[in-house]
Structure 1
């Protein structure tokens, strides 16, 4: 589809008052979008309507990068089903063993539940998803195939993670994971290989070997602390180097990073940055649980924020708003400056911000992917601080909202 998006604001640079940044300068422009990319950007005063052009009026709203959901579970939520609180469980094993019969008992299909979560997150500006999908012998590839067919049929931009929730080795899921990797999964996941699988080195070696064989990324969920967490992190770093998978390894939750101290901590974070190992956090409130995101970013580690559990067997909470998660991050790390707020947007847009740290405009540029939102906010800083309404959203030029 080719169309002009007129009468929108883009950010140009910061406004300085003496020695501090007091605001952001914007410009009213029109943008030509063709084949899912930005093709022309011109000042609104120079734009002229032509017969036959498709034109969408942005009504003076601000153009910002689309929000990317880096951690959700489209197969797990219970949205649309009658209310039921989370049932008791004494361990992670009890929890995931009870989850399957709970989901099977619901009257609403997995496809409809997934659609409800997609709709909820899209209402808050999400234009693309990374969804972990449980794969183990009890359900086989049933959930994976349902979600894959759903997102493909509806043209939803999504990365699918083949996720051995019950333990890759513990649940004998290697063959099933391999089938998923040959049938559309773009990432292989994992959960606490030290605790669940017992042999963390074998579990991680298997995971990395499969990722390399099928040219996929890795997104491992690590909740383990102390010795279990430390050994797992160090092994992931070793295997990332050994397999030349720089930039393809993600660690979700990463609670155990709190257990590294002093010189070892500094060296670990530097190695993670060098290997481009990225962290995905749902911003838990407990200060001893949330990984040290500020230190990690200072060391050059890329951070992402995701919603994770939303009304499922693990949590009754969650409203599907990644901007709400970002506000929690801003409160926890006491971020309130214009540039600090503006740069924090990158935590929910896969690192894309309209201005770089120096205030230079870096987005949108010609031939950038046209995935964006339009908001009533005057600037990025206001959008993240006030959770300004999203009026429209597009994924690669395709209208979502």
Structure 2
């Protein structure tokens, strides 16, 4: 694990020698380089108060030319269940299906709940070490854990409230009806702290796409929540689930922009024509996709989804837990994987790929105009050892500092 941040500033302060991107350099209309300069940045009451020309003689905190980028956001992770912090354990070859894993969870959850607060905090610290200050986290809702996974997760988040925020997805990991979780989900849906109603493979787990999605949608409507369902199924059942959810969202416009299909691996097994058609439908209904990258040989059609305007969110999903051996917690690594998988190699393309780590906040717009940071922006940023966004993605540059609200932590003396 990387070294911990040492607090070097709290409250209102000034930073000097801050490297910010200022524009693109072109050669025959092609971006060949990202221009940067050094600035002083003043922080007050958790916001950026001013950005001024650099003054090396000022009394500000010297960040020594490190590049300031928007803080990272992990938009699909399970903070409530992880083996991180426990002795190393690789994925078992004995458990091959989701139902196998459900049976396994029923055995181990009671014991894991005893230490889940501490382990959730350790996982949050890992995400922070890699520059994340925000996450969308799913928490188990099932007969084995009841609402205890949520209760413990909320304790961990409360202990980290000054430097980390999260939105919560009530996730029926053991199926809505497969293990009689519907009543507990109704209880969870009514809680103010819950932001999204989750779901899991309606056909292969519960055997009824319509019944599961109808309840999921109704809970979201009744309690003004969003929707974020896990869909690992491919083929006919996977596509039927996606299309049925699109139809329900179209019927209930209040859910547009608040509904997501996590993973949606069925999209990675379509023809080009089918991919274009479903991407257009998803965009029209404002149904987003939240996925991990990569996942067991499936390459999602992310470029096509983005071309049609689908909101694509990226996360680490499982971080070294009993569902997956892998998962680093590093959102910059996810952006790097996307660049390599889809051939984003130029200065301009790499600068755009950073958006998958920051969730669409970029220092420069498509034309090279500076758009972040601006006066009044929240003081959420990372400081990386790189000359520009493109380099930070390509080289997965080391994180030197993390700024959240009115705190600044640093890994260097």
Query: What TM-score, normalized to structure 2?
Result: 0.90
Say whether 1:177 aligns with 2:185.
yes
Say yes or no: does 1:191 pair with 2:213: no
SS in 2 for 1:169: coil
User: What is the match of residue 19 of structure 2?
Assistant: 9
Q: Deviations over 1:279-299 (max 9, x none)?
A: 222112555x23211111111
Q: Is the 8 A contact 2:20 2:39 kept in 1?
A: yes
Counterpart of 1:232 in 2: which secondary structure?
A: helix
Distance 1:240 1:392, change over 3 A: same
Q: 1:323 to 1:189 in 2, by over 3 A?
A: same
Task: Tell me the distance in 2 between the aligned counterparts of 1:397 and 1:172.
Answer: 45
Determine the structure 2 residue equivalent to 1:83: 88
User: Residue 77 of structure 2: which of 72, 78, 95 is its match?
Assistant: 72
Pairwise CA distance, 1:86 = 2.6
Aligned length, in residue pairs:
395
Tell me how far apart the structure 2 counterparts of residues 103 and 85 of structure 1 sit (CA, whole Å): 18
Give the corresponding residue for 1:52. Answer: none
Segments of 5+ residues of structure 2 without an aligned counterpart are: 1-10
The match for 2:165 is 157
Look up the match of 2:220.
211
Maintained 8 Å contact 1:4/1:30: yes
- 1:133 matches 2:121: no
- Counterparts of 1:108 and 1:348, CA distance in 2: 32
**Change in CA separation of 1:181 and 1:46 when aligned onto 2, cut-off 3 Å:** farther
SS of the equivalent of 2:174 reads coil
The 3 A distance-change label for structure 1 pair 272 and 396 is farther
Distance 1:145 1:243 in 2: 31
Confirm or deny that 1:351 pairs with 2:360: yes
CA distance in 1, matches of 2:142, 2:333: 32
Deviations 1:153-176 (A, max 9, x none): 320301111110111232222232
Aligned to 2:8: none
- Assess if the C-alpha contact under 8 Å between 2:117 and 2:155 holds in 1: no
Shift of 1:12: 1.1
Of 271, 279, 282 in structure 2, the residue corresponding to residue 272 of structure 1 is: 282
Distance 2:167 2:231 in 1: 20
2:174 aligns to what? 166
TM-score by structure 1 length? 0.93
Matched residues in 1 for 2:114 and 2:61: separation? 37
| Aligned-pair CA distance for 1:187 | 1.3
After TM superposition, the structure 1 stretch with the greater mean CA deviation from structure 2, 375-384 or 278-287, is: 278-287
Q: CA deviation at 1:17?
A: 2.5
Aligned equivalents of 1:193 and 1:47: distance in 2?
Answer: 62
Is 1:118 the counterpart of 2:118? The answer is: no
* Aligned twin of 1:59: 64
Asked if residue 37 in structure 1 is aligned to residue 47 in structure 2, the reply is yes
List aligned pairs for 1:270-349, cutoff 5 A: 270-284=280-294, 286=296, 289-349=298-358
Give yes or no for the alignment of 1:391 onto 2:413. Answer: no
Is 1:360 equivalent to 2:369 in the alignment? yes
When residues 63 and 283 of structure 1 are mapped into structure 2, their CA distance, relative to the original with a 3 A threshold, is: same
Which is worse superposed, 319-328 or 125-134? 319-328
CA RMSD across the alignment: 2.0
| Cα-to-partner distance string for 1:117-175 (whole Å, 9 max, x where unaligned) | 11111111111111111110111001111001220232030111111011123222223
Q: CA deviation at 1:302?
A: 2.2
